[in-house]
Chain A
Amino acid sequence: MNKKKKIKASTVVIYVFLSLMLVLYLAPLVWIGLTSFKSRPEIYKAPFGWPTAFHFENYAMAWKAGRLGIAMMNSLFVCVITLILTMVIGSMAAFAIARMRWKLAGAAMVYILIGMMIPVHCVLIPLFVRFAKIGLSNNLWGLILPYLTFSLPTCVFIMAGFFRSIPNELLESACMDGCSIFQMFFKICFPLARTGLFVTGLMTFIGNWNELLLALVFVSDDTKKTLPVALTKFVTPYQTNYDKMFPAIMIAIIPTIVVYCMFSNQIVDGLTTGAVKG
């Protein structure tokens, strides 16, 4: 079909422009990959050249110096727990709001959606003060609680959209078969909203995996830091260890990139679906 037409000039322009964008997006990542293998003097002298030698030991040093292993475990712990709790609590609330019949459903939705507009910064100080008193500061659970709370609005918002789209007839027939409300939720609606769960799970996980401010404030002990905080520690007023910082950045972003490459279509389309349905 396309062959009939000549390739239009506008198409060429579009592709040239998009290719430039591609370079703009990929070049920094490729560059950091190369630089992470350079020795410290080389980083300063020839930051853009091809590495003269590949210093793989940079990675080992960064891993050890930044306690990246522990940091990664901490991040994983916090994010997985938050993810599970968010999905369960969020979709339960979303179901009740979207499908169940009660007068205050709308009000509850608004209550939760206000959370989307409130930046976490505003509760930073009260939470910090309160958590210090009840032993939740310097404690990963002290991160999980606010992460969970601030992940809920999006989750409820998107899941409510998905639950609304489930046809009434399906629920009715389930009801005829003698399903209890819990069975209806867990056996029918939950699986049907898989895409929604996937999307919210993704958003929650990515958001919390990258979160910096709360993690910075609430956790002081080096053995409890999360990955983003561990990264910022390579730059201090006293010293910047670029030869360790770049490998550390790579270590931090490679897992995300790998997962993204494997599932990029699902991730991007999932988010699209989430946005449309939501």
Chain B
Amino acid sequence: MGKRAMSVLLSATMTFGMLAAVPMTASADDVQNITWMFWDDLDASEDPITKGFKNVIDRFNKDYEGKYHVDPITTTLEEYYTQLNALVDADQTPDVFIVSPGPNLTDYVKPGVAAPLDDYLNADGWKDTFSSDAVFTQQTYDGKIYAVPLNIAAACCYYNKDIFKEAGVEVPTTYDELLDACKKIKDAGYTPITISAGTAWCLSMLAGYLCDREGVDLDAVNTGKESWVQDKTIDAGKKLLELSQYFQETAAGDSNDDATMAFAMGEAAILIQGSWAIGQMNAYNPDIEKSCGVFQFPAIEGGNDPARVIAKSDSLAMNAKTKSPEACVALMKYFTDDEAQRWTAEQGGKIPVTNVKYDADKAPAQMADVMKIFSGASSTFGFYNESLVSSDAGSYFDNQMVSIYKQEKTPEEAFQAVEDWYAENGYRK
């Protein structure tokens, strides 16, 4: 008897567990329910892009009421891929999910989690609404497009016009001018460059620019045609070290947020960041909008084409096993329709992927400068940490750049370490 009681107790617990495990999407008759996974909280976030996405979801659910319905699954950027992987493992892959192009997307293309989207893109002129085919470059594998870009963020140098004027500095166009400017700004009593080494990718972005300006051929390095240890990378490392004397004193511990704030508050003259920082700095200090200028990352004499720009896009991938591809495609189209793209430009501080007309006056003042730089770019390249052979390689690279900055390693040692990492993990023959 007692045994029975216990087994009842146990099975009750189990059933409870199972019941709770079933997603609460029991639906009305014909509504096709899909899930969409994103790395920020739609309701809580102050990020303008996130707010725009919330509008998209709300519009979609309203317009398709009774036909389609999308439930967002949101988490934080920090744990996003972990949680996404857990859902994939549990065979609960979200129908549509956001993903960074590059090795992160590859992780889902290779095992067949993400579906190729060419057929949908070509079907009714959807693809023609995009500004160019080039926007799909980073989303293409073996000739097939696996994700739809939603926006483009370009990494630029922001500068405080007032400080520049006070220090008597012109906008630098070459690396030497940049150094010179930094020196004058420091003499004028300001922090020349504000950057975050606490959040490693921020520092790594600068390193990426330096490497590219030096003319590092990333493809050749990734595929093993060239080594990470070469004059160009090492020069880039040395320049990183050289610039680091002009960073704010607390750079080692500052987060991205701290670094951007120092710029917004007028403590520092130059910030090297993606265009998403525009919304952030204007939120900290609305006055910065007037005094903030933007310039292209300076050229290195004798180096690579200086009109190349680091660009990054958020993209949507579709679950290859989704039950409602039509609903997924309809949702993705909402993300790239005029209203969403206009928001991207006017509020989001990012560059739209379509040819949408938007009101430049509504967009933050810095946006026009970013657009100018972006449209004048000869070509774009990805974040270095998202363009290496794997996401692990990317974070390893980031950390090596930080150790150069902290002078724990010489540039030679640091790039040797990256090369060794490639060898240890089977990317070198």
A residues within 8 Å of B by Cβ? 44, 64-67, 128-129, 132-141, 145, 216-217, 220-222, 233, 236-241
Contacts and interface: CB of A to CB of B under 8 A. Distances in A.
A222 B75 contact: yes
Contacts of A241: 46
Contacts of B280: 238-239
Contact of A239 (B18, B82, B257): B257
A222 B74 contact: yes
A114 B327 CA distance: 52
B257 A135 contact: no
B400 interface: no
Give the 8 A-B CB pairs with smallest separation, nearest first.
Answer: A220-B83, A135-B21, A65-B44, A141-B17, A132-B90, A220-B75, A132-B89, A132-B86
Contact of A240 (B18, B41, B87, B257): B257
B249 to A, nearest CB: 17
B21 A220 contact: no
B324 interface: no
B43 interface: yes
25 contacts: A44-B265, A64-B43, A128-B86, A132-B87, A133-B89, A135-B22, A135-B90, A135-B92, A137-B86, A137-B90, A138-B87, A139-B20, A139-B21, A141-B16, A217-B82, A220-B82, A221-B74, A221-B75, A222-B41, A237-B77, A237-B78, A237-B257, A239-B46, A239-B47, A240-B258
Contacts of A137: 86, 90
A178 B132 CA distance: 88
B15 to A, nearest CB: 11
Interface residues of B, number: 34
Contact of A237 (B16, B41, B74, B199): B199
B90 A133 contact: yes
A241 B73 CA distance: 22
A233 B46 CA distance: 13
Most buried by A among B16, B44, B46, B79: B44
Given A67-B43, A141-B16, A240 B90 contact: no
B89 A129 contact: yes
Given A139-B17, A139-B20, A141-B16, A236 B77 contact: yes
Contacts of A145: 17
Interface in B7-58: 16-18, 20-22, 41, 43-44, 46-47
Nearest to B91: A133
Contact of B79 (A44, A140, A220): A220
Contacts of B78: 236-237
B407 interface: no
Contacts of A217: 82
A135 B18 contact: yes
A270 to B, nearest CB: 28
Interface in B59-86: 73-79, 82-83, 86
A86 B264 CA distance: 52
Most buried by B among A136, A141, A216, A241: A141
B235 to A, nearest CB: 29
Contacts of B43: 64-65, 67
Nearest to B201: A237
Given A140-B20, A220-B79, A221-B74, A238 B47 contact: yes
B47 to A, nearest CB: 7
B129 interface: no
A136 B82 CA distance: 15
B255 A136 contact: no
Most buried by B among A128, A129, A221: A221
Nearest to B285: A41
A52 B247 CA distance: 33
B255 A240 contact: yes
Nearest to A225: B75
B204 interface: no
Contacts of A222: 41, 74-75
Given A220-B79, A222-B41, A239-B257, A136 B17 contact: yes
A135 B78 CA distance: 22
Nearest to B41: A222
Most buried by A among B17, B46, B74, B276: B17
Contacts of A236: 76-78, 257
Contacts of B90: 132-133, 135, 137
Contacts of B20: 139-141
A138 B46 CA distance: 25
Nearest to A216: B79
Contact of A134 (B21, B86, B258, B265): B21
B256 interface: yes
A237 B21 CA distance: 31
B281 to A, nearest CB: 11
Interface in B245-283: 255-258, 261, 265, 276, 280
A217 B90 CA distance: 15
B41 A233 contact: yes
A217 B296 CA distance: 41
A121 B78 CA distance: 19
A141 B21 contact: yes
B77 A238 contact: yes
A138 B76 contact: no
